Amino acid sequence: MENLKHTMMTKNNLFKFLTISTFLLATSCELKKEPTAASNVQVTYTETAEKSFKLWTWITAEKARTNESFDEEFKKYSDNGINAILINTNGDPVLLSRLVPIAKKYNIEVHAWMFTINRPGDKIAEQHPEWYAVSRDGKSCFDEPPYVGYYKWLCPTRKESREHILSLIEGLSKVEGVASFHLDYIRYSDIFLPIGLLPKYDLKQEIELPRFDFCYCDVCTTEFEEEHHKNPKDFSNPAIDMEWKNFRLNKVKAIVDEAYKITHDNGKLLTAAVFPYPEMADHMVRQRWDKWNVDAVLPMIYNVFYNEEIDWIGYATKQGVEDLKGTNTELHTGIYVPEMTALDLKEAINQAKINGAKGVSFFDGPAITEEQWQTIRDTQNN
């Protein structure tokens, strides 16, 4: 995964997008929901969130790197005003424990970022081929993943795969000094890819295609049939069956809500990387994040993947902020920095800010250029 991540930075947009596609972050100074757990959490979530617009970045950590190398990287983030880093340790709590004190030295919050339902390289899951999601045309992500080799989606319904995912969340949530567990790939595989990526696959996706439609494993279809007295395998057009759609939205929500309990029981927050705004997330990946129990979301409002301009970042941010009204969930806009000019980046941050985001998160830390850092530093002075 780390290699994939690296590859994605150097190869093409598709890789970049697919790898990034699910994370979000959150921060909060307003966690009033659960007095007991939240009191711990508020302490963890330092004053930074309250006093200013928060700046985050996503990074992937490789175990082989030295502490000195991480120290240098974190110092750079601190020098440029980053308040929080989301670290993907490939689910490794030991590596995460090693990094927390280094980040603390620079007063940077650490968030435990993990690929949640998509689990490439998961040695435990690989021992259980039946845990993987199955497409409408009968192909398992275990050995015939859609789009790219690292799309190893698990079935979100099956007891064993769910428990495995939740145990990984618990492991990272127990790491001392971590501010939140950060859900990424907390969704189904893309039923529709972002429009900007379709040409790379030579694909047309005007309807829900069987190859990209999940999960039709026996556990999912049996459970659905018991409840609704109809079997998705018999549908001539599954896309128009609302119960089937809703069943899947609720399966993702159920994992999030369990994760919320686990993280709060461990005195941590729950944050998530999500698709740009709720209706879009619902349409593309069956992810309805405005209905989740989550402390903060970091929608990946990556305009370039959707052939959209910078002002669309404002549009999507505003939509998400509106949809979250009345909840305890904060929104911090995710910005995809590669290919952005300094001027574009300045406007992207501005669009997030004026449309109600509590902060912005950059994908990803190592990709930020010196010119972009200058822009980031300048925004803090305005």
Contacting positions for Zn ion (CB under 5 A): 155, 157, 215, 217, 220
330-331: strand order across its sheet: 330-331, 296-299, 269-274, 180-184, 109-115, 84-88, 54-60, 359-363, 333-336
Q: How far is the CB of 210 from Zn ion (least distance, A)?
A: 15
Q: How far is the CB of 161 from Zn ion (least distance, A)?
A: 8
Q: How far is the CB of 251 from Zn ion (least distance, A)?
A: 8
Q: Which CB atom, from 156 or from 276, has the smaller least distance to Zn ion?
A: 156
Burial 170-199 (b: 16+ CB within 10 A, else e): bbbbbbeebbbbbbbbbbbbbbbbbebbee
Separation CA 108–CA 230 (nearest Å): 51
Separation CA 260–CA 294 (nearest Å): 6
Q: How far is the CB of 27 from Zn ion (least distance, A)?
A: 33
Contact 296, 269 (CB under 8 A): yes
Separation CA 308–CA 63 (nearest Å): 37
Terminal Cα distance for the chain, rounded = 38
Distance of CA 141 to the CA centre of its chain: 20
Q: How far is the CB of 183 from Zn ion (least distance, A)?
A: 19
Separation CA 324–CA 30 (nearest Å): 13
Q: Which CB atom, from 195 or from 239, has the smaller least distance to Zn ion?
A: 239
Q: Which CB atom, from 75 or from 228, has the smaller least distance to Zn ion?
A: 228
Q: How far is the CB of 243 from Zn ion (least distance, A)?
A: 16
Q: Which CB atom, from 159 or from 377, has the smaller least distance to Zn ion?
A: 159
Q: Which CB atom, from 220 or from 335, has the smaller least distance to Zn ion?
A: 220
Q: Which CB atom, from 82 or from 217, has the smaller least distance to Zn ion?
A: 217
Separation CA 254–CA 250 (nearest Å): 6
Q: How far is the CB of 220 from Zn ion (least distance, A)?
A: 3
Q: Which CB atom, from 220 or from 313, has the smaller least distance to Zn ion?
A: 220
